[in-house]
């Protein structure tokens, strides 16, 4: 039986959840609301995160352009995404929301600029 | 002499929201002054997401949150000066400021809004023993180097202090390939938000050492190691528990201090607890026509509440120049009682209240299943049950204005009552 202890972040209470798997059934204990149960199961089955980071930029007034994935990426792909973003260099001007990497790792998620940066 | 209706000092989230709201309330000539090269303040280096959940009901990154206000400011044709330093303020609301384009300026304002934010405590503030090598940064400085200037600050890192910036930087460094060995926290709980502990430390298996502190920094030119020691109930290091961590970098996330040099130059009264100005219901300081908002008043954990507080300051400043702020004799004082470290605002002039008033406060310790008890003239007027409260998470209590007005109230107090008491 799989078992995992996680802290719920749905609200500031921070319940300590225990999520266990019995055959194909997930069971959450320690939660104090329904949302905690949903969160616990999601964290156990398919945890995802938005990745905010930077890419290199030429001719901008800063050397780095902040970017983010425009959707949540499966947790185990975070470092693979970072590796791709580490090799990207863009050129100013860039507008907030511009797609910097289209369909990263072919998971249907784009990397977009989170800042407008003019050419210097 | 330049003349303005309102001069806002600081172009971060507080200053932007205050200026925009003042303009919406008919203030005509507004000037925002910032010492940085762009508007947006510290949000520009906070590239992580999680901003705006309350104001916009979506998760934005810092630059995105800032950009929304910058766009609005520009659309409203509000003037601003960048790379400009305000040198001092006088009681009659004259400012001197300087930059390389305009040179020295004297500016006369009908109202001033202080929105200078806060700055980080440094190694000097906490006096860590040891040598003085390179590689010791405040977490915010490291954040600026990495996210804006493109410099990696280190490869093997120890972080002292589990405030939000420290937690965020633990993840940021990890994503960029550094190894974060541990986050040491003097207190028995983290001052950071739970979601940051989970998503920045737990996600990457970074240990959080509660009741621990850095007792020595070693290295001649660059940090070579730091010693982390457990502390007892009185926060004194326990001999024999020292552990040496080989590393090249130490980040400090050990608290923020409101930046009030300018406030002091004009003798605005400061609170010894918040280190920020004492303010009334309109976010006005003890000097008429000088308002303050955001982290310069008290350090917030969520920018959303900075925005809300600053909108109030902007609106109040606009009212002030129209002579609509009343200097009433009906004054209510707020008192932080058991378990509460402070309440903002400190003073309430009931004539200026709108429908309701938010009391913002911090609790002193971590409390489970406790009550926030609000009393007016010693009588209970509101009780709020709380499953969880922590010093890292600001509490807000909304009080309807009718309560202040109807019963000739002189004081409002808030205290924590634990279950069964």
Please check whether residues A16 and A40 belong to one and the same domain.
yes
CA–CA min distance A95, chain B (Å): 11
**Domain harbouring B93, CATH code:** 3.50.50.60
CB neighbours of residue B28 within 10 Å: 11
The counts of H helices and E strands in chain B are 9, 27
* pLDDT single digits (tens) B293-325: 999 999 998 999 999 999 999 999 999 999 999
Q: Of A66, A69, A58, A62, nearest to A103 (Cα)?
A: A69
Please check whether residues B47 and B61 belong to one and the same domain.
yes
Please check whether residues B150 and B41 belong to one and the same domain.
no
Phi and psi of B75, rounded to 5°? -60, -30
Task: Give CA A98 to chain center in angstroms.
Answer: 18
* pLDDT single digits (tens) B62-105: 999 999 999 999 999 999 999 999 999 999 999 999 999 999 99
DSSP B38: S
Q: Are B136 and B248 in contact (CB under 8 A)?
A: no
Please check whether residues A41 and A66 belong to one and the same domain.
no
Q: Is B254 or B195 the better-scoring residue by pLDDT?
A: B254
Q: Is the pLDDT of residue B119 over 80?
A: yes
**Domain harbouring B371, CATH code:** 2.60.40
Please check whether residues B12 and B109 belong to one and the same domain.
yes
Distance between start and end Cα atoms, chain A: 59
Q: How far is Cα B278 from Cα B146, in angstroms, rounded to an integer?
A: 36
Report pLDDT for A83. Answer: 96
What is the full DSSP assignment across B1-15?
Answer: -EEEEEEEE--SHHH
Number of domains in chain A: 2
Which of B67, B193, B203 lies at the smallest CB-CB distance from A115? B67
* pLDDT single digits (tens) B142-167: 999 999 999 999 999 999 999 899 99
Report pLDDT for B57. Answer: 87
Q: Is the CB of A96 inside 8 Å of chain B's CB atoms?
A: yes
Q: Is the pLDDT of residue B276 over 80?
A: yes
Please check whether residues B409 and B294 belong to one and the same domain.
no
Please check whether residues B320 and B245 belong to one and the same domain.
no
Q: Is the pLDDT of residue B122 over 70?
A: yes
Q: Of B220, B218, B245, nearest to B156 (Cα)?
A: B245
Domain stop point among B254, B277, B304: B254
pTM > 0.90? yes
Report pLDDT for A1. Answer: 60
Please check whether residues B268 and B309 belong to one and the same domain.
yes
Please check whether residues B27 and B99 belong to one and the same domain.
yes
Please check whether residues B134 and B116 belong to one and the same domain.
no
Please check whether residues A92 and A56 belong to one and the same domain.
yes
Which of A49, A63, A66 lies at the smallest CB-CB distance from B199? A49
**Domain harbouring A61, CATH code:** 3.10.530.10
Please check whether residues B48 and B84 belong to one and the same domain.
yes
Quote the domain boundaries for residue A16.
2-45
Q: Is the CB of A62 inside 8 Å of chain B's CB atoms?
A: yes
Please check whether residues B13 and B126 belong to one and the same domain.
no
Please check whether residues A57 and A102 belong to one and the same domain.
yes
Q: Of B153, B146, B176, B198, nearest to A79 (Cα)?
A: B176
Please check whether residues A74 and A39 belong to one and the same domain.
no
Q: Of B38, B65, B55, B61, nearest to B172 (Cα)?
A: B61
Report pLDDT for A5. Answer: 85
Q: Answer yes or no: is A120 within a domain.
A: no
Phi and psi of B41, rounded to 5°? 60, -145
Q: Are A97 and A65 in contact (CB under 8 A)?
A: no
Quote the domain boundaries for residue B194.
122-254
Q: How far is Cα B373 from Cα B110, in angstroms, rounded to an integer?
A: 39
Please check whether residues A74 and A91 belong to one and the same domain.
yes
Report pLDDT for B41. Answer: 97
| 3-class SS string, B182-249 | EEEECCCCCCCCHHHHHHHHHHHCCCEEECEEEEEEECCCECCEEEEEEECCCCCECCCCCEEEECCE
Please check whether residues A56 and A41 belong to one and the same domain.
no
The stretch A93-105 carries a mean pLDDT of 96
**What length does chain B have?**
421
Q: Is B196 or B328 the better-scoring residue by pLDDT?
A: B196
Please check whether residues B362 and B245 belong to one and the same domain.
no
The stretch A13-37 carries a mean pLDDT of 87
Q: How far is Cα B221 from Cα B371, in angstroms, rounded to an integer?
A: 52
Q: Answer yes or no: is A119 within a domain.
A: no
Distances from the Cα of B303 to the Cα of A81, A114, B42, B54, B306, angstroms: 28, 17, 11, 9, 5
Q: Where are the alpha helices (DSSP H) in B356-411?
A: 401-406
CA–CA min distance A29, chain B (Å): 17
Stretch (H or E) spanning B385: strand B379-389
Show residues of chain B in contact with A69, CB under 8 Å: none
Q: Answer yes or no: is A62 within a domain.
A: yes
Q: Is the CB of B52 inside 8 Å of chain A's CB atoms?
A: no
Are A63 and B149 inside 8 Å of each other by CB?
Answer: yes
Number of domains in chain B: 3
Q: Answer yes or no: is A118 within a domain.
A: no
Q: Is the pLDDT of residue B384 over 70?
A: yes
Q: How far is Cα B325 from Cα A81, in angstroms, rounded to an integer?
A: 54
Residue with tokens 């206000």: B69
Q: How far is Cα B61 from Cα B49, in angstroms, rounded to an integer?
A: 4
Please check whether residues A69 and A108 belong to one and the same domain.
yes
Q: Answer yes or no: is A86 within a domain.
A: yes
Q: What band does B421 get if pLDDT is binned at 50, 70 and 90?
A: low
Domain stop point among B226, B254, B282: B254
Are A9 and B49 inside 8 Å of each other by CB?
Answer: no
Q: How far is Cα B363 from Cα B120, in angstroms, rounded to an integer?
A: 21
Q: Is the pLDDT of residue A13 over 80?
A: no
The stretch B371-394 carries a mean pLDDT of 91
Please check whether residues A59 and A96 belong to one and the same domain.
yes
Q: How far is Cα A36 from Cα A42, in angstroms, rounded to an integer?
A: 10
Q: Answer yes or no: is A14 within a domain.
A: yes
Distances from the Cα of B37 to the Cα of A60, B250, B420, angstroms: 13, 28, 55
Distances from the Cα of B24 to the Cα of B13, B18, B216, angstroms: 17, 10, 53
Stretch (H or E) spanning B305: helix B303-321
Q: Answer yes or no: is A87 within a domain.
A: yes
Please check whether residues B44 and B105 belong to one and the same domain.
yes
Report pLDDT for B166. Answer: 95
Are A12 and B147 inside 8 Å of each other by CB?
Answer: no
């Amino acid at each position: 039986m799989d078992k995992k202890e996680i802290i719920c972040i749905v609200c500031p209470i921070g319940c300590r959840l225990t999520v266990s798997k019995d055959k194909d059934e997930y069971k959450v204990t320690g939660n104090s609301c329904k949302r905690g149960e949903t969160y616990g199961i999601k964290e156990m089955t398919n945890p995802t995160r938005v990745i905010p980071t930077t890419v290199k930029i030429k001719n901008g007034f800063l050397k780095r352009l902040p970017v983010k994935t425009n959707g949540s990426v499966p947790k185990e792909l975070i470092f693979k995404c970072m590796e791709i973003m580490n090799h990207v260099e863009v050129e100013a001007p860039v507008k907030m929301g511009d797609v910097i990497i289209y369909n990263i790792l072919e998971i249907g998620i784009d990397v977009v600029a989170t800042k407008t940066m003019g050419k210097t | 002499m330049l003349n303005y209706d309102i001069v806002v000092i600081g172009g971060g989230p507080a200053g932007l929201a205050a200026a925009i709201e003042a303009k919406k309330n008919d203030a005509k000539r507004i000037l925002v002054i910032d010492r940085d090269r762009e508007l947006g303040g510290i949000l520009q280096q906070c590239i992580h997401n999680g901003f705006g959940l309350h104001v916009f009901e979506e998760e934005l990154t810092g630059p995105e949150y800032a950009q929304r206000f910058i766009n609005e400011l520009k659309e409203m044709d509000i003037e601003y000066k960048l790379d400009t330093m305000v040198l001092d303020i006088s009681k009659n609301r004259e400012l001197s400021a300087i930059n390389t384009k305009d040179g020295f300026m004297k500016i006369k304002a009908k109202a001033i809004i202080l929105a200078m934010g806060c700055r980080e405590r440094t190694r000097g503030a906490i006096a860590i023993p040891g040598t003085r090598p390179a590689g010791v940064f405040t977490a915010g400085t490291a954040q600026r180097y990495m996210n804006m200037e493109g410099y990696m600050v280190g490869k093997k890192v120890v972080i002292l202090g589990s405030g939000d910036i420290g937690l965020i930087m633990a993840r940021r460094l990890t994503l960029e390939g550094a190894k974060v060995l541990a986050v040491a926290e003097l207190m028995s709980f983290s001052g950071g938000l739970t979601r940051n502990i989970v998503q920045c430390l737990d996600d990457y298996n970074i240990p959080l050492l509660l009741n621990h502190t850095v007792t020595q920094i070693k290295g001649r030119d660059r940090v070579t190691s730091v010693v982390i020691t457990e502390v007892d109930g009185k926060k004194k290091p326990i001999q024999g528990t020292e552990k040496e961590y080989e590393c090249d970098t130490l980040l400090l996330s050990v608290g923020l201090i409101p930046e009030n040099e300018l406030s002091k130059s004009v003798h605005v009264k400061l609170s010894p607890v918040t280190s920020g100005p004492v303010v009334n219901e309109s976010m006005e300081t003890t000097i008429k026509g000088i308002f303050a908002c955001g982290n310069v008043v008290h350090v917030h954990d969520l920018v959303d509440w900075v925005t809300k507080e600053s909108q109030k300051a902007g609106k109040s400043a606009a009212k002030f120049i129209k002579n609509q702020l009343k200097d009433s004799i009906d004054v209510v004082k707020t008192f932080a009682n058991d378990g509460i470290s402070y309440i903002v605002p400190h003073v309430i002039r009931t004539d200026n209240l709108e429908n309701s008033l938010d009391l913002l406060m911090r609790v002193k310790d971590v409390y489970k299943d406790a009550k926030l008890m609000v009393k007016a003239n010693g009588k209970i007027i509101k009780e709020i049950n709380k499953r969880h409260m922590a010093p890292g998470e600001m509490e807000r209590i909304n009080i309807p204005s009718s309560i202040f007005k109807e019963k000739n109230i002189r004081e409002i107090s808030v205290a924590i009552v634990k279950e069964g008491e």
